[in-house]
Chain A
């Protein structure tokens, strides 16, 4: 088997005295879709943020395609390679588009400034991406004019424009009106089908069941269980996983359509 694309190796992350990630280890292979579930405050967002290098880690290491991407500040050893940087794309719950720029400008800014892409090339690429997320007619519109679902799809296009090898999604449908969730999930399914490596924090169990290769259950800063969706949903190995899934089903039961 090939080297995993992402190696998270005994990562410890603390905020002050609080340990938010407690020796978390996880490997993701190229093309895999990993869905991360777990109660609020269990460290899911923090894990993604550490992967995206938005937060330093105190111990452990993160390797992307065999290259050291992050290393514990309390550990000895060589510093991580910061040159290879833009291999990770991230999409946030609150979209975080640049409100003063048009959709097109949102998508072309980083390729032009970071990758040094010519304006024409960046625009051609953006048009192709907008087609992929179904927003080809919104290129010159500012984000405030878009629905939440459209904003989130534009945010996905913006992240893809940097041609990342891994995409991180942090509860990207949680802030959306229920009727807009489907269009964003559809875009994500499309990405998965095209072979994108994805780490997805979500409460959308339908998406997890259909798309995920593996589901990871996190609780209190640790990975409790990792298994393919059919197994983790039908016969979770850990009591904590079962309890969480039961609570989730109770809460969602009947109120939301299966997606």
Chain B
């Protein structure tokens, strides 16, 4: 022990890259699922139609108030118990995290849509625009401005959150770090290199969101 021995873990970089790629893949699946489902939930809530609003409300509160780690375990071990079919580790974690993050996206989108004046809906309606066209061309393009910053934060949060998949043995970044640590007896160095890898993954996302925000701000007349 004693000194910081980065050289002992650097040689594991191919494993780190593999783990990072898996983290990225899992993030992409979760975010994709979360965005689509989150938008649907937001619209269900915004509709104020009780039989749409209420299930969406229940969903959002359930997934916001229970630990994502538990949700992953439920899906991984629970699905076969109830349905006799299972998902592998990767998909269990990716889907569970997607279902979880959808609740957060839903709240972000709902606030974003609610921030658009009702008169924009009325103007669209009188012009004969369909509901989907109203959302696509009128409401969502305006909601983006408000929705983008918290969405960026949530995306970054999710990328790091995929580390929870370690619990069911998915060989993503954190898991790789743990394995290196077991082989080298160098936990600090192993986790430091993992942290650097997370930074390399998430910082470009943060920059990208900042760039889009700047462009939107500039195009605002």
Bound together, the chains give a CA A109 to CA B141 distance in angstroms of 14
- The answer to whether B127 touches A159 (Cβ under 8 A) is yes
Residues of A within 8 A of B138 (CB): 98, 109
With both chains docked as a complex, state the minimum distance between the C-beta of A104 and any C-beta of chain B, in angstroms: 14
With both chains docked as a complex, state the minimum distance between the C-beta of A52 and any C-beta of chain B, in angstroms: 5
With both chains docked as a complex, state the minimum distance between the C-beta of A70 and any C-beta of chain B, in angstroms: 13
Q: A99-B142, A144-B221 are in contact. Are A158 and B127 (CB under 8 A)?
A: yes
CB-CB nearest in chain A for B125? A54
- The answer to whether B125 touches A98 (Cβ under 8 A) is no
Q: A94-B119, A113-B137, A144-B221 are in contact. Are A85 and B128 (CB under 8 A)?
A: yes
Say yes or no for B52: interface residue by CB 8 A criterion: no
Bound together, the chains give a CA A142 to CA B129 distance in angstroms of 20
Say yes or no for A89: interface residue by CB 8 A criterion: yes
Say yes or no for A184: interface residue by CB 8 A criterion: no
Say yes or no for A110: interface residue by CB 8 A criterion: yes
- The answer to whether A92 touches B127 (Cβ under 8 A) is no
Bound together, the chains give a CA A52 to CA B125 distance in angstroms of 9
With both chains docked as a complex, state the minimum distance between the C-beta of B124 and any C-beta of chain A, in angstroms: 8
Say yes or no for A232: interface residue by CB 8 A criterion: no
Say yes or no for A208: interface residue by CB 8 A criterion: no
The interface size bin for chain B is 10 to 19
Say yes or no for B123: interface residue by CB 8 A criterion: yes
Residues of A within 8 A of B192 (CB): none
Bound together, the chains give a CA A88 to CA B133 distance in angstroms of 19
- The answer to whether B122 touches A114 (Cβ under 8 A) is no
Interface residues as binary, B48-71 with A (CB distance below 8 Å gives 1, 0 otherwise)? 000000000000000000000000
- The answer to whether B141 touches A100 (Cβ under 8 A) is yes
Say yes or no for A90: interface residue by CB 8 A criterion: yes
Interface residues as binary, A147-188 with B (CB distance below 8 Å gives 1, 0 otherwise)? 000000000001100100000000000000000000000000
Say yes or no for B184: interface residue by CB 8 A criterion: no
With both chains docked as a complex, state the minimum distance between the C-beta of B213 and any C-beta of chain A, in angstroms: 15
The interface size bin for chain A is 20 to 34
With both chains docked as a complex, state the minimum distance between the C-beta of A87 and any C-beta of chain B, in angstroms: 10
Bound together, the chains give a CA A113 to CA B142 distance in angstroms of 18
Q: A99-B142, A100-B142, A113-B133 are in contact. Are A162 and B120 (CB under 8 A)?
A: no
Residues of B within 8 A of A89 (CB): 126
Say yes or no for A231: interface residue by CB 8 A criterion: no
With both chains docked as a complex, state the minimum distance between the C-beta of B100 and any C-beta of chain A, in angstroms: 31
Residues of B within 8 A of A109 (CB): 127, 129, 137-138
**Which among B117, B119, B126, B129 has the greatest number of chain A C-beta atoms within 10 A?**
B126
Interface residues as binary, B104-124 with A (CB distance below 8 Å gives 1, 0 otherwise)? 000000000000010110110
With both chains docked as a complex, state the minimum distance between the C-beta of A98 and any C-beta of chain B, in angstroms: 6
Residues of A within 8 A of B122 (CB): 54, 92, 96
Q: A88-B126, A98-B137 are in contact. List 8 more A-B contacts (CB 8 A).
A: A54-B122, A92-B123, A96-B119, A100-B141, A109-B137, A110-B128, A110-B129, A162-B128
Name A's B-contacting residues (CB within 8 A).
52-54, 85-86, 88-90, 92, 94, 96-101, 109-110, 113-114, 141-142, 144-145, 158-159, 162
Name B's A-contacting residues (CB within 8 A).
117, 119-120, 122-123, 125-130, 133, 137-138, 141-142, 221
Which 3 pairs show the lowest CB-CB distances between chains A and B? Answer: A110-B127, A96-B123, A86-B128
